[in-house]
Structure 1
Amino acid sequence: MQHLPKVCASSNWAYIGSTIKGRVQLSFITRSLIKAKSPKDLRNCHYTTSRKMMMEMSEASRNDPVSNPLPEKDDKATYASGSSKSEDGALSCGYSSFRGKRPSMEDFYDVKISKIDGTTVCLFGIFDGHGGSRAAEFLKNHLFNSLLKHPDFFTNTRLAISQTYQQIDKDFLESVKDTFRDDGSTASTAVLVGNHLYVANVGDSRTVISKSGQAIPLSEDHKPNRSDERKRIEDAGGVVMWAGTWRVGGVLAMSRAFGNRMLKQFVVAEPDIQDQEINEEIELLVLASDGLWDVVPNEDAVSLATTEEEPEAAALKLVDTAFTRGSADNITCIVVKFHHEKSEPVDHK
């Protein structure tokens, strides 16, 4: 995955991506890094190259930063990391993404930070593809842009998230209706409007917060053997069976996902949404694909993230830990740190 951080000054958006020029540059860089064994091996080279590329790419991205989707990923790329922060300094975020032991990269992520009508709006997303990368890439390209255009985004954010998730699922299925592939993807997203956080989840990616040092999951993995999920699937005429792990129809190891048109009657994209106010007890937020959560418990993730001052370093440490512990999947995570001493109270209704 070749995404590197850049800031588009013309629209005040901070977001993750790269231009075609940047994509060619990174392909050259990753060819020299292909022998690296873990994220730790790549770290020193990445810090030097990504900062230079960020400056070169930002100018080329000025024309249409919101509607222009993040570019196609280069499967030659094995690793990326970067960081961003809010204009008022109230939060900073870092991300790290590693192909790991998989032959191709099917994880995608997106970060958008802006101020709209005086309100800070931050969007963080992890999209873990299965059966191919197209569904995850579609989410990266369209989900947040569509959400921000929803007429009720500020007045009823929870409704806007739910409706946008399900509409994007329909849009993706329409876009691939004439193909023979059946890609799918998870989505775990955190949407911060002022000081109100909404976490929405479809699939088995996960979002966890650290509250007064305690790890608290803000999403519950959608697994077919969950009693409520199993009942929903069976009520719809589906079946959950054991095939190495619990699977819908003996095929899919998660009970909700974007895409997966052959199982769409049972595998829905309706998100579970939790929300809460961000106060001084909330220290940080970790979003990650199951490549991390398969081997790193919630408590370990929070504990490891708090040992690093910079969120990018925390994300790097989490990805490296997952790889060291034997994760066989793509590994992607975003760490968001809140700096309450710099934040101002926001009255958001």
Structure 2
Amino acid sequence: MKKCVGRSNRGVTFGKASEQGLRKTMEDTCGIYQEFMTLSCVEVGGCTAPSCRYASVKSPVHYFGVFDGHGGSQVTHYIFLTPKFLLFMAFERVDDGLIDRTLASVGSTASVVILSACQIIAANCGDSRVVLCRGKQAIPLTVDHKLNRQDEVARITDGGGIIVDLVSSLSCDHSLKPYIIPVPEITFTTRSAEDEFLVLASDGLWDVLSNDDVIKLARKELREHRRRPKSDDNSSCPASFVAEGLVKYALDAYSQDNISVVVVDLKLPRIRVQRKQ
């Protein structure tokens, strides 16, 4: 009988790493909540095996996010700590909630993944990015909100705005409204047995490394570290080493920005052990 790709969705490991780089301040934030709620597959975008016993059983749903602030780190920390944002990805509600909590010129990008046993739900506002490694292929799950997109240019100019060197969607920068908006693009990707890992990162990584380069480097590092003795400490898990390695690669490529990376290993430990036998 066919089973849910993520089984019970337990045992998911992750790693995160951040570096201030050449910037005077650190304005990035990584947000991670493992098992932040429990839902059945059919309640989160659908199940890959509706007839299996896991389909109607409640299982953990995990949350991962990368936030790249500008003008200060207040917004990134507020977004990360706001339950409404975690539960409903309510970018506009968070945006409204910040009117009285921070300066008008402070804002943040946001790239978020909600991971259920069968679905990868990615939401993006700004130029942070989420990329999936499926087999050997790099699959972007988000599209940067930048002004090299004709639809974004048209939206701003049609509304009476002018074009400057800036991302076209940000959460909470009220000084740039109505041209810079907090409306995310959301994608649903059905998980596959070929899925290996996710990389969420701020533009400090993507400005100097392509999607293909990041996936190639991360895949090589992840496979090497999986062969090493297992540790109960998540900071020593393979995904942690990969996240740190990607930050180092970005620094070596002369990234000028803050760099934040989250790597989510989608291969459950039990599955990895079975394949070795």
Q: Structure 2 length as normaliser, TM-score?
A: 0.79
Q: Deviations over 1:249-270 (max 9, x none)?
A: xxxx100001221111010010
**Farther off after superposition, 260-269 or 131-140:** 131-140
- Partners in 2 of 1:147 and 1:240 — Cα distance? 29
* Structure 2 partner of 1:101: 22
Q: Do the aligned residues in 2 keep the contact of 1:307 with 1:314 (CA within 8 Å)?
A: no
Q: Do the aligned residues in 2 keep the contact of 1:225 with 1:240 (CA within 8 Å)?
A: no
- Partners in 2 of 1:148 and 1:94 — Cα distance? 19
Runs of 4+ aligned structure 1 residues displaced above 6 Å come to none
Match of 1:222 among 145, 157, 165: 145
SS in 1 for 2:197: strand
* Structure 2 partner of 1:205: 128
Q: Do the aligned residues in 1 keep the contact of 2:112 with 2:123 (CA within 8 Å)?
A: yes
Shift of 1:214: 0.5
Q: Do the aligned residues in 2 keep the contact of 1:127 with 1:289 (CA within 8 Å)?
A: yes
* Structure 2 partner of 1:116: 38
SS in 1 for 2:96: helix
- Partners in 2 of 1:130 and 1:332 — Cα distance? 14
- Partners in 1 of 2:183 and 2:91 — Cα distance? 7
* Structure 1 partner of 2:66: 126
By relative contact order (CA 8 Å, sep 6+), the higher-ranking structure is 2
SS in 1 for 2:217: helix
- Partners in 1 of 2:199 and 2:260 — Cα distance? 11
SS in 2 for 1:93: strand
SS in 1 for 2:209: coil
For residue 154 of structure 2, what is the amino acid of its counterpart?
K
Shift of 1:175: 2.2
For residue 70 of structure 2, what is the amino acid of its counterpart?
H
Shift of 1:174: 3.4
Q: Do the aligned residues in 1 keep the contact of 2:15 with 2:239 (CA within 8 Å)?
A: yes
Give ranges in structure 1 of 5+ residues lacking alignment: 1-85, 150-159, 242-246, 248-252, 344-349
- Partners in 1 of 2:86 and 2:178 — Cα distance? 28
Root-mean-square deviation (CA, aligned residues, Å) is 1.8
Shift of 1:341: 6.5
- Partners in 2 of 1:94 and 1:225 — Cα distance? 31
- Partners in 1 of 2:73 and 2:26 — Cα distance? 7
Match of 1:254 among 143, 158, 167: 167
SS in 1 for 2:254: coil
* Structure 1 partner of 2:111: 188
- Partners in 2 of 1:87 and 1:194 — Cα distance? 5
- Partners in 2 of 1:148 and 1:102 — Cα distance? 28
Q: Do the aligned residues in 2 keep the contact of 1:88 with 1:342 (CA within 8 Å)?
A: no
The aligned length equals 230
Q: Do the aligned residues in 2 keep the contact of 1:173 with 1:259 (CA within 8 Å)?
A: yes
For residue 88 of structure 1, what is the amino acid of its counterpart?
R
Q: Does 1:268 find its partner at 2:194?
A: no
- Partners in 1 of 2:109 and 2:100 — Cα distance? 18
Q: Deviations over 1:109-153 (max 9, x none)?
A: 1101115253111100000001211111211121xx21455xxxx
Q: Deviations over 1:24-64 (max 9, x none)?
A: xxxxxxxxxxxxxxxxxxxxxxxxxxxxxxxxxxxxxxxxx
SS in 1 for 2:180: coil
Q: Structure 1 length as normaliser, TM-score?
A: 0.63
Q: Do the aligned residues in 2 keep the contact of 1:209 with 1:285 (CA within 8 Å)?
A: yes
- Partners in 2 of 1:110 and 1:119 — Cα distance? 21
Shift of 1:290: 0.4
- Partners in 1 of 2:81 and 2:97 — Cα distance? 12
Q: Does 1:304 find its partner at 2:213?
A: no
* Structure 1 partner of 2:101: 175
Q: Deviations over 1:298-328 (max 9, x none)?
A: 1111111112230001001100000011001
